[in-house]
Structure 1
Amino acid sequence: MIRFDPTHPADWRDIMARVTVEDCVDKVPNRFELVALASHRAREIAAGAPITVDRDNDKNPVVALREIAEETQSADHLRERMIESLQTQIEVDMPEDDDMALLMGGAERDAPEQDGMSEEQMLRALMEAQGQAG
């Protein structure tokens, strides 16, 4: 039989974490969502966000659960922050003026003028040049 030893630190931490999860279930009824929110909050804490409860030598996930249990971190606000952190926004570069002119069909005005030689005239000129060179 395994006995609980409250003086053993590992046993104490395990019990505290379980009690903390049980305290949070009434704030976030879905345990999967609770884990997602607490892990997001733990990452925020690891990134330097200030904690809103006493640390009491607890690790970030336990602190996050305690914040949710004591309602110093609202589940709704945590949910919004988690969603925002998962969203990506693609920055679209605005086209340059020259590119915009090409897109709008105004590039013909900026293009150098052709000398008016058609494709057929160009072929004839090439054939004549080859005949003179050969």
Structure 2
Amino acid sequence: MSEPGPPLFLAGNPRDNQTGGIGVGAVIAVVLLMLGSGAAGLFGLLIFPYASDACGNPDLLICTGNGQLAVGLGPMSAAIAGSAIAGCSLALRPPYRAAGIMLGYVVGFSGFVAAAIIVSQV
């Protein structure tokens, strides 16, 4: 009679030893991204459209309705997309996980930077 082996699913994913598990640092990085880019997106949603109050030149993007929509919703949309990318990257192996989280940071804050550039034209 053969000796019984260890149970297949003792606790959690049996591949955690191969993938390194979900590190606490990675989870903290994703939570900080969600909080930071969410705050930047909320700031963009509530404050940036009012930059068009001083418009004198209707040729500027911020002086149009589409420009106001872009600076209002762009940062929030980018924050949601960046948080989703970084959150999904937690399931990857450690070298790819870091790259995915970094891509989430780039996407998450790029909407805020783009909106700030458009607003600074006034």
Normalising by the residue count of structure 1, what TM-score does the alignment of the two structures yield?
0.27
Structure having the higher Rg: 1
Point out which structure has higher relative CO (alpha carbons under 8 A, 6+ apart): 2
Normalising by the residue count of structure 2, what TM-score does the alignment of the two structures yield?
0.29
